[in-house]
Amino acid sequence: MSLHPETRAIRIQTDRTNEKEHSTPLFLTSSFVYDSAEDMAAAFADDTLDVNIYSRFSNPTVDEFITKIAALENAEDGIATGTGMAAVFSTFMTFLSKGDHIVSASAVFGSTHTILTKYLPKWGFESSYFDMNKPETIESLIKPNTKLLYVETPSNPGLDIIDLSYVAAICKKHNILFVVDNCFATPAVQQPINFGADLVLHSATKFIDGQGRVLGGVVVGKKELIQQLYLFVRNTGPSMSPFNAWVLTKSLETLYVRMEKHASNALELANRLQNHPKLSWIKYPFLPSHPQHEIAKKQMSNGGGILTFELKGGIDSGRKFLNSLSLLSMTNNLGDSRSIASHPASTTHSKLSDAERAGVGITPGLIRISVGLEHIDDITDDILQALARC
């Protein structure tokens, strides 16, 4: 029987134990036992055997989470990591060698930007940035040693969107690995593999968890690529804990209904805030005013749960706005059931220079709202009263 993704997110489960549990148990163990010395020797001799050895290598609870994400992303296989940044870094280190070149969108998360500009050059990797609003410039950046192209869409925090099929065609033409961070959309909203991506990664800490409880990362894609990633994670240790995997696999059961509510609240909020006198602009993928609105409609089922706007008063107004909120949380997380406001210029992207922030679309008064699951009137009222005070 062919099941819908919403059903698979709920019904994919680890095989029941002899206890006949209905809800998947938590396999909180560091290691696993063998029936014989020969079985134990075989487990270590052959990396391809489907057998549990040690929870740094694999664990039934973690495997269930991976299997679900792979199914929802239409991927062959996956690997889970302790954090989203561990997923990003593991991908770079697995598929790049000294002297290789990476092409990346300039609009990427601050820590990803730091890896590309501060750490990778120490090990002999080159990188070049392109503007997501000018995808026609990508091909001119490709060199003979270019091995990987990296994008977030929608981007954090600017909500830039790029045509995945267009970029995939360029990568295929030049035999480059195409890696997409799908954190903002989640597999409930967008499946980049369907548009030609080779690998898709997430910070599962965000919408996949959905309640701001645990950290986690995941990468899914073609089986032969994931096997290489698996060996890197197995040998270097950025593995996901079984407890976090248990929380995350339970969260996936409600991902689709949560993302529908996040998106409907976000779209309604965006419509209510349009033309507000304190705002220079408001940006949300499913607003017709978004520069890539048509692309968003093509590859996303809804606009997701994040919107941004620009306060006319710049950095000072940004701080005053945050200090005036009473319901919305001030935190650097996103994708929570509770609505969150952040000011990237003074927090997550504060280590970037003014020029670097401008280059990735982070203006002084930019506010990012992670729209939660509260009643839309309560979210709107709090934002409006904060705008009145700043």
Flag whether pLDDT at 352 surpasses 80. Answer: no
Length of the chain: 390
Element (H, E) at 262: helix 255-273
115-122 — which CB contacts under 8 Å span 24+ positions?
A: 115/85, 115/88, 115/89, 120/92, 120/96
Say whether pTM exceeds 0.85: yes
Q: Which residues have C-beta within 8 Å of that of residue 333, sequence separation ≥ 6?
A: 205, 206, 212, 340, 370
Per-residue pLDDT tens digits for 291-329: 999 999 999 999 999 999 999 988 889 999 999 999 999
Flag whether pLDDT at 251 surpasses 80. Answer: yes
Same fold, 5-254 and 256-389: no
Average pLDDT, the chain: 95
Per-residue pLDDT tens digits for 192-222: 999 999 999 999 999 999 999 999 999 999 9
Q: Could you give the 3-state DSSP secondary structure of residue 87?
A: helix
Q: Can you tell me which residue has the tokens 């319901």?
A: 327
DSSP 239: B
What is the reported pLDDT for 192? 98
Phi and psi at residue 342, to the nearest 5°: -140, 160
Flag whether pLDDT at 141 surpasses 90. Answer: yes
Q: Are 142 and 111 in contact (CB under 8 A)?
A: no
- Which residue, among 187, 198, 195, has the nearest Cα to 150 in the 3D structure? 198
Q: Could you give the 3-state DSSP secondary structure of residue 99?
A: coil
Residue 149's pLDDT band, with cuts at 50, 70 and 90, is: very high
Per-residue pLDDT tens digits for 45-96: 887 668 898 999 999 999 999 999 999 999 999 999 999 999 999 999 999 9
User: Encoding tokens for residue 359?
Assistant: 């280059």
- Which residue, among 231, 242, 246, has the nearest Cα to 59 in the 3D structure? 242
Fold of 5-254: Aspartate Aminotransferase; domain 2 (3.40.640)
- Which residue, among 355, 368, 329, 365, has the nearest Cα to 113 in the 3D structure? 355
My answer on whether omega of the bond before 121 falls inside 30° of 0, hence cis, is no
Q: Are 382 and 327 in contact (CB under 8 A)?
A: yes
Q: What are the sequence ranges of the domains in the chain? A: 5-254, 256-389
Pairing mode, if any, of strands 279-283 and 306-311?
Answer: antiparallel
C-alpha 384: how far from its chain's center? Answer: 29
DSSP 106: S
Element (H, E) at 130: strand 126-130
Comparison of pLDDT for 135 and 347, the residue scoring more: 135
DSSP 67: H
What is the reported pLDDT for 212? 96
Q: State the Cα–Cα distance between residues 255 and 260, nearest whole angstrom.
A: 9
Fold of 256-389: Aspartate Aminotransferase, domain 1 (3.90.1150)
